[in-house]
Structure 1
């Protein structure tokens, strides 16, 4: 397992040449930060219905828009397991009947990668940039990060810790798959939640979560929830954990931050061949330990 820690804004992991890792669904947090920068700049409002859609940006970001997810398709899992090239987004939406709402927006919760595909398209439309350009210009570069990019081809994943074992086509991640060092993932989340990229009010809204159940066996949350692009909830000991877990063929990444009064700690960890809960447990253990030592 590889991990990286930030305590009170200061990296605790010695500088070293890090392997690039797939960020999987932690990409959603980066997309959310990019979308919220559009709200900050007055290009869109969180709670206005999108053009020609019955749902809002807030509902998309919080998985409350009524959309299904292609992870529900058995054909999708079979194609990925067989190392097949990704379907086009159009074909995926046809197979899923992806424009049909499964519930009235705002009335329920259902995790949906399709929602974040639509967020990516919205970012491109409102900025007149490619998603790559918009994410770098509006989120990655302003937070002082580098060596973070979207994987577009199988060859891009050959440079990650998955290495030559990966026959996975990153185009299967329809909202885009960021890759980068895990230290950059930890710094991104820490700086996003503590710096001035977004105004305080937007950061508070980002971390206002819809509770999505009770204690989860094998996972750290007592009250799991989902905010605007972040998994947010209370864990044992009363700490509020904010960040995101991501998993894909071959690896799991977990990136989380805890605040304790004036102190804060952020940890990113990635592991191959692991379960989500196991990596989350390692992250939580490191966060609690370093906060005790650093306070």
Structure 2
């Protein structure tokens, strides 16, 4: 499995995407000002040239009026149209903003200090072994875990496809990472790491005395009424409710038929990428978060306090569970993206400076072009 957000490593760069069309004056608005045909043209490219069975874009303007555009089918050989805005899918690393908000809820309650060492809350857990002997939780803060400035190696980099079959404990994922050399001294660089978010999930579990899925449901999902969003427990490999099938390339025959990987063991993604949601719910999440209904303004400002994230591209920054990315039409978007190679899905979701939210996802990973075109669709959705 690749990173639960290899998009966030390199492909979440929107500056090279092409914005199409323009919007009518706001004063003349009678409905959402969105160029659906420009979006559809991008999605059709994904479902034809890129061999992706299905693709979707959901855009919600600042008045929360949605437009949904789809292309392709919900499953190979089924003839069924691609599911719509209420179709569930694995959101991969877009889980990270939810985990970060849960941590920030504990900050608001004065149970966590962002600049305290993780050792304060998980004593003895973050201790490197072997090549990772330098790693010490007494020198890594909670903020650094959430901001990807901890230097912790990414456990996903050391997994093979065969590792993803059985449920796994979060502590085991951390142990995998801690046996490897750190990427840099804590605070001295930026490098995307799922390990930091697994530890953040363990922190939430320790302080709430609830499993991470229950804690995030109570702290984040339920307060803003995300009715189709849930955290699958370990061992639950199927997606509940309406959803499209997911696919990936056959490693031994990349040009051959796609492999169905809809069933996926979520515990391998954990607090870094296990959640299931819908395009409509994700757009609502962003608008509720930035509307102040999950965190007080001072806490949200902490989330948005960012550092340069050069791996994400020119002018990209990363806060606490959210990336700040430029748009080709000017301004920017607070967003996150993710993909699950073992789960055959990629997506990107966020909110721009005008309050417009967008989510784009594709149902197969067929190579870098499909990711680039997905990101181009995201840019088009917010710029057209």
Instruction: Indicate the TM-score class for this superposition, using the shorter chain for normalisation.
Output: 0.7 to 0.9
Structure 1 contact 268–283 (Cα < 8 Å) conserved: yes
**Is residue 328 of structure 2 the alignment partner of residue 236 of structure 1?**
yes
- The count of corresponding residues between Structure 1 and Structure 2 is 277
User: For the residues of structure 2 that align with 1:165 and 1:199, how far apart are their CA atoms?
Assistant: 40
Is the alpha carbon distance of 1:87 and 1:214 closer, same or farther for their aligned partners in structure 2, counting shifts above 3 Å? closer
Q: Could you tell me which residue of structure 2 aligns to residue 43 of structure 1?
A: 111
Q: Tell me which residue corresponds to 1:265.
A: 356
For the residues of structure 1 that align with 2:287 and 2:172, how far apart are their CA atoms?
A: 37
Q: Residue deviations 1:64-93, cap 9 Å, x none? A: 1121102222xx13326xx63355444444
Distance in 1, Cα, partners of 2:165 & 2:212: 24
Name the one with the larger strand percent.
Answer: 1
**CA distance, structure 2, for counterparts of residue 23 and residue 95 of structure 1:** 24
Matching of residues 83-232 of structure 1 within 5 Å: 84-98=165-179, 101-152=182-233, 153-157=235-239, 160-162=243-245, 165-175=261-271, 177-213=274-310, 216=313, 222-232=314-324
Supply the distance in 2 between the matched residues of 1:234 and 1:149 (Cα, whole angstroms): 30
Q: Secondary structure at the match of 2:383?
A: helix
Higher Cα radius of gyration:
2
TM-score by length of 2: 0.66
Give 1:11's match in structure 2, choosing from 55, 58, 65: 65
In structure 2, the residue corresponding to 1:236 is in which secondary structure?
Answer: coil
Match of 2:346 among 245, 252, 255: 252
Are the aligned partners of 2:116 and 2:142 in contact in 1 as well (CA < 8 Å)? Answer: yes
Q: Where do residues 22-61 of structure 1 align in structure 2 (5 Å cutoff)?
A: 22-50=90-118, 51=120, 52=123, 53=137, 54-61=139-146
Cα separation, 2, equivalents of 1:276 and 1:266 = 19
Task: Give the SS at the match of 2:373.
Answer: helix
Structure 2 Cα separation of the partners of residues 258 and 13 of structure 1: 16
> Deviation of residue 94 (structure 1)?
3.9
Distance 1:161 1:240 in 2: 30
Whole-angstrom distance in 1 between the partners of 2:216 and 2:309:
28
TM-score (norm 1): 0.84
CA 1:55–1:181: 2 relative to 1, 3 Å: same
Give the Cα–Cα distance (whole angstroms) in 1 for the partners of residues 90 and 168 of structure 2. 20
CA separation of 1:92 and 1:44: change in aligned 2, threshold 3 A? closer
How many angstroms apart in 2 are the aligned matches of 1:19 and 1:191?
A: 20
